[in-house]
Amino acid sequence: MNIYSDERLINLGIISGTVGRDFGSARDKEIAAKIFESLGIPLSKILGLKQVHEDKIININSDEDLAAYKSQNLHEADGWLLSLPQTGVMILTADCVPLYLWSADGKYVSLTHCGWRGIVQELPKKAAEMIKAKTQEKLQAYIGPHIKDCCFEVKEDVASRFPKETIIQRKNKIFVDLDKAIILQLTSAGVDEKEIQTGCHCQCTCCNKKDFFSYRRDGTKDALLSFVYKL
Ligand SMILES: [Zn+2]
């Protein structure tokens, strides 16, 4: 299984990453279950949500939070802030950004589904501010596989919602650099740019058909699983 992850997070005892397409689409619950089984993570400990391209983040920091989560059926949100041990969270992406953000001591870890709509609603910045409100530790980040500036062509209406530093013009086409947009938000929230890791262009979901699903390329609902599990 190919897992795209950040060693800093793994070294903190946080099993995490974005799983490549070799297992199939994790939109299929049986496939998601198989992925967790092969990772040795109990499926019953994994929490899910209904992604809606907005900016809500669910806190799972205590047994009370977990009980509140379990007492409701539908969780419309696009991210997690987790500190409860032996608990895991997941999101699905296929071009959108799986953003991993954590305090350097590993106590708090956030995983957010950042599509362009979530990014213009400042979901990355909000995740950083939520962790900073809980701890003085420095923050670290990993921007997982997603559609990169080579392929993320947009029209003027979408481009106009992004900072100009993130816009690239090529042959009368407009592209947005989502890595850059996220880095700008995280640094404005006080994250040191040196602490933010991004993948190479080989981690563009749209270019790299062998390893990833891409909504832009394929137009299907197939999706990659991203997860965080705290030991
Ligand atoms: Zn690309």
Distance (Å) from CA 148 to ligand 1 centroid: 5
Cα of 110 from ligand 1 centre, angstroms:
26
Per-residue pLDDT reduced to its tens digit, 44-98: 999 999 999 999 999 999 999 999 999 998 899 999 999 999 999 999 999 999 9
Q: How far is the CA of 39 from the centre of ligand 1 (A)?
A: 29
Task: Please say whether the beta carbons of 87 and 66 come within 8 A.
Answer: yes
Q: For all residues of the chain together, what is the average pLDDT?
A: 97
Q: What is the pLDDT of residue 31?
A: 97
* Cα 122 to Cα 119: distance, rounded to the nearest angstrom: 5
SS3 of the chain: the string is CCEECCHHHHHCCEEEEEECHHHCCCCCHHHHHHHHHHHCCCHHHEECCECCCCCCEEEECCHHHHHHHHCCCCCECCEEEECCCCEEEEEEECCCEEEEEEECCCCCEEEEEECHHHHHCCHHHHHHHHHHCCCCCCEEEEECCECCCCCCEECHHHHCCCCHHHEEEECCEEEECHHHHHHHHHHHCCCCHHHEEECCHHHECCCCCCCCCCHHHHCCCCCEEEEEEEC
Domains and CATH numbers, the chain: 3-221 (3.60.140.10)
Query: How far is ligand 1, taken at its centre, from the CA of residue 177, in Å?
Result: 11
Between CA 83 and CA 73 the distance in angstroms is 22
pLDDT recorded at residue 8: 98
CB 149 within 8 A of CB 205: no
- Distance from the CA of 199 to the center of ligand 1, in angstroms? 12
CA dist., res. 10 & res. 88, Å (int): 14
Whole-angstrom Cα Rg for the chain: 17
Going from the Cα of 174 to the center of ligand 1, the distance in angstroms, rounded, reads 14
From the CA of 10, how far away is ligand 1's center (Å)? 27
- What's the 147 CA to ligand 1 centre distance in angstroms? 6
| pLDDT value of residue 1 | 86
Residues of the chain with pLDDT under 70: none
Query: How far does the centroid of ligand 1 lie from the alpha carbon of residue 58, in Å?
Result: 31
Tell me the C-alpha distance between 20 and 81, whole Å. Answer: 23
Please tell me the distance between residue 152's alpha carbon and the centre of ligand 1 in angstroms.
Answer: 7
Distance 209 CA to ligand 1 centre (A): 10
CA distance 177 to 139: 22
Q: By the 8 A CB rule, do 224 and 213 touch?
A: yes
pLDDT at 68: 96
Which residues make up the environment of ion ligand 1, defined by Cβ < 5 Å?
Answer: 148, 150-151, 204, 206-207
pLDDT of the residue at 73: 87
Cα of 180 vs centre of ligand 1, distance in Å, is: 15
pTM, entire model: 0.97
